[in-house]
Structure 1
């Protein structure tokens, strides 16, 4: 079973905030569920830009990225480094300075990766914006971290990004074509909008290519000065996690966090010993793509292959065959689609040797198919959290393939893991408890949320994952549960509260309760119980509610199932609190999903 988390946790009592070292005094012995990841390899203390520069010096002419959707665009390490530096200088020409937050919105474009390293080289903080976000979600993100510059594509396959931006920043419409200096009444901190993948100048927006090419010698000089000021412990990336209270939280990561995480993930996979073409269909805004993919590849001078702008099984198979990919990334949903696709028999995937699987629990039968039908004998299971940069456990290559998938692997080098009870005391091996982790990879905190940061990270830097886990005798980790209400749909983490808060805005809804139910392809699907206001009973149908959600919240949050119920149908406790666990069980029965397996055994929760 695997589980790769990008999430927030439920609040815990003050007693669980005591230091682990204090508690350990009351739980002596070698059978404790505590492990430290020893390593003969020291942590790196360099910025992402310095690591990229080292890769360029080592292999300047080696291909770094291939983008199949760009007429098979290829860039060497030297060419990419030049593009990233030119873009960093172009951002400086707009007046941006070290520490400014730059929002990067969009799917898997070459410009996205250029921005990732342009921000790192220039000392800016890249803010990953989920391309599935709608206008209200985009507005929240821009305001939360005071984004000064937003970089976005114009549109893709019917999704009009510019339309959403103009809803958030209506002042764009009165601007001039190709001029992206913005003065927004609602967001005075937002000063620039940059657009790519557009042939014609856009009203109220700079062209990416113009910014990239317009930097002068003074801007390059400033860039050199900025680079000298950047420290490995500076923030470089903000990634938003779903929130239990209805709003995403801005996990802030440093160069030191993600550079080392990428380095040690690649090293455990043996990337330092062999050349690999790594097929990455995962979205770049997610840490799976931009850290375990791009950053890990740079650390080991490997090649990244991006098969399509958005996930597409046909493009994945074509890219694996054409580029002779040796590694393939994916969530269980992605691999289910690939191994069940009739297109598989038409493509030669014999070049594959292994891959990373993360994002949700993975069934044994699926892993067997990955080995038998995709030739992926070198599979690595990864578990982690955005707040941990992200990987904290991973399979070891020394372990047999089919033994690897029995757990989420061993602790990563230089990391610590403890499994604790409700009082924060370490439990014996084999006993379930909450998984805590700490080390170099622990985030700085949630941007602008000191109170929430303190709830998740104790004074002694233990990050409380909220996941239920157990430690085996060989110190591998099993994840058996999670934060009680979170839904994992195809690798996307969904908190019911976010959807419920949106639904409560609809004038005809008196109550809304969201739960996850089993789904063959996505692992879980979103199901909502609705109680209508009395005057709307019989007038509102399930499809009306689904339609009200579409285009207003990210597509993966839109309920697949809508059950309209009366008040007496909702199971409640003696104090009137809704029993979500009972809702899940009843929903499975009502929807005839009893034979469909869920991610977790409900009895463990």
Structure 2
């Protein structure tokens, strides 16, 4: 049996725009709460959310924003982010998500590459002075006509201009939209070369958010807490669209991730679903007063973004009451989710796999060298096909052709194994796989094992250059106690007899934190760069017998 499966479903795909879907939710759930911002205390019912979205949409039309024009948003999580997301969809503008961590040159690149004509931006966040960077960059961005800052008179002017556009004009505009129109550009992290703008349609992201919510059993009774960034698909698709397509409530705990603020929001807002990457859940569980929070309203949530250690998942299910928590796997280019665990899955499937294919999608596992589908149980590159695959990278046809083949399969770059029960396990990235002395080593396996060590709080395993073996293995460790980190000898002894000799880390690097992307993924490329510089000649020195 080969490694191919398609997602069968009795529930049809949605053939509507995001605006039409929101209108249906407003009509059906008008009096129910739709959006809560814990930081400001502001709240919207569905009727109020619909009215606010319409106001922003008409304001954008009054400013001359046409169908297909790009509107950038550069901000942490705020209610205005949500309003702009739905308002741009209503008028057929393309929302360009800008990473809140961008510095000036990255901002300039993204604005120019996508041709943003209007930018909605926070004035500042943490140590970043957005306004100063924008003003310094205006002369380098010829397409940028206008900048609007929520909380500033420019935002008030946008709203006041809505009165210039009557409702019939806005309705006519919406009627001319197609669900296949491009509606969103999301820039990939750009760990190699410049970031690429994954271009997504209404059909791509609305259906993906909807079916993720369907598999989680969402209804108007649910309240979804989103400490993950809206800039990323995790927040705006799996979160916002997953919620509004089911009449659920979006809860914003804070502008950016704060573990205590997140648990406080869960408790005070009686949240039923909590999202996060594994490092977020690790931080929440590690709070000194974790046991003081009442989290019994939780039943589900999503853990995604990077592989979750088994022990962390078990604690989330038991101590955070998230018995139905889902593991989701995907990438920005696939809207993002391709596979997901199910509500009634047993613990082994929740902790040992990334679930099975979503409805209406196809996945297969292929030999990276030949492209042929491998047998069940064999590792290869995971490929996805279906409604979720992006339209392409914005203005980059050659780069698009490198990842989407002639048959419309998206090549993920992830190494996976498809089991006999149709569930998939991710064993690593092709680029993260360590080849030591001819042996393929998958970091995930070693990380899972090392999470059991009593002195290890979190761990990432990387390959470092080595003259004799090509690569050697390094464990980058955040210790439980900073003053008592595990030594290389302790870790080697812990692994001996449990892991094959070539999988035992030769090096151990202790650190306070890992370099992260804004979406919460560990940047292994940065870890490898730091480690290679530090090791230098040491990595080419004497080697233990093996």
Q: TM-score, normalization: structure 2?
A: 0.81
> 2:92 pairs with 123, 141, 151, which one?
123
Matches within 5 A, 1:58-97: 58-70=28-40, 72-97=41-66
What is the aligned partner in structure 2 of residue 344 from structure 1?
Answer: 290
- The structure-2 alpha-carbon separation of the partners of 1:278 and 1:111, relative to structure 1 and needing over 3 Å to count, comes to same
Q: SS of the residue aligned with 1:155? A: coil
Q: SS of the residue aligned with 2:149? A: strand
Contact 2:341–2:350 (Cα < 8 Å) also in 1: yes
What is the aligned partner in structure 1 of residue 424 from structure 2?
Answer: 477
What is the aligned partner in structure 2 of residue 224 from structure 1?
Answer: 171
Q: SS of the residue aligned with 1:317? A: helix
Pair 1:448-2:448 in alignment = no
Bigger mean CA deviation after superposition, 451-460 or 399-408? 399-408
What is the aligned partner in structure 2 of residue 12 from structure 1?
Answer: none
> 2:351 pairs with 400, 405, 417, which one?
405
Q: Distance in 2 between matches of 1:271 and 1:521?
A: 38
- The structure-2 alpha-carbon separation of the partners of 1:152 and 1:516, relative to structure 1 and needing over 3 Å to count, comes to farther
What is the aligned partner in structure 2 of residue 155 from structure 1?
Answer: 124
- The structure-2 alpha-carbon separation of the partners of 1:79 and 1:376, relative to structure 1 and needing over 3 Å to count, comes to same
C-alpha RMSD over aligned residues:
3.1
- The structure-2 alpha-carbon separation of the partners of 1:519 and 1:233, relative to structure 1 and needing over 3 Å to count, comes to farther
Q: CA deviation at 1:223?
A: 2.2
Pair 1:434-2:381 in alignment = yes
Q: Distance in 2 between matches of 1:341 and 1:332?
A: 15
Q: Distance in 2 between matches of 1:521 and 1:316?
A: 24
Q: Distance in 1 between matches of 2:474 and 2:201?
A: 33
Q: TM-score, normalization: structure 1?
A: 0.73
Contact 2:324–2:344 (Cα < 8 Å) also in 1: no
Q: SS of the residue aligned with 2:295? A: coil
Gaps of 5+ in 2: 434-442, 445-457, 464-470, 481-514
Q: Distance in 2 between matches of 1:279 and 1:521?
A: 29
Q: CA deviation at 1:220?
A: 4.2
- The structure-2 alpha-carbon separation of the partners of 1:47 and 1:318, relative to structure 1 and needing over 3 Å to count, comes to same
Contact 1:92–1:222 (Cα < 8 Å) also in 2: no
What is the aligned partner in structure 2 of residue 191 from structure 1?
Answer: 145
Matches within 5 A, 1:34-183: 34-70=4-40, 72-169=41-138
What is the aligned partner in structure 1 of residue 258 from structure 2?
Answer: 312
- The structure-2 alpha-carbon separation of the partners of 1:444 and 1:521, relative to structure 1 and needing over 3 Å to count, comes to farther
Bigger mean CA deviation after superposition, 410-419 or 559-568? 559-568
Pair 1:355-2:309 in alignment = no
What is the aligned partner in structure 1 of residue 3 from structure 2?
Answer: 33
Q: Deviations over 1:24-58 (max 9, x none)?
A: xxxxxxx0100000001111100000000000111
Q: Distance in 2 between matches of 1:412 and 1:381?
A: 12
Q: Distance in 1 between matches of 2:532 and 2:432?
A: 18
Contact 2:199–2:392 (Cα < 8 Å) also in 1: yes
> 2:236 pairs with 286, 290, 294, which one?
290
If asked which structure has higher relative contact order (CA below 8 Å, sep 6+), I would say 1
Q: CA deviation at 1:342?
A: 1.2
- The structure-2 alpha-carbon separation of the partners of 1:399 and 1:568, relative to structure 1 and needing over 3 Å to count, comes to closer
Matches within 5 A, 1:269-280: 269-272=216-219, 275-280=221-226
Task: List structure 1 runs of 4+ shifted beyond 4 angstroms.
Answer: 485-488, 554-571
Q: CA deviation at 1:208?
A: 1.3
Q: Distance in 2 between matches of 1:107 and 1:345?
A: 29
Q: CA deviation at 1:386?
A: 0.5
Q: CA deviation at 1:224?
A: 2.3
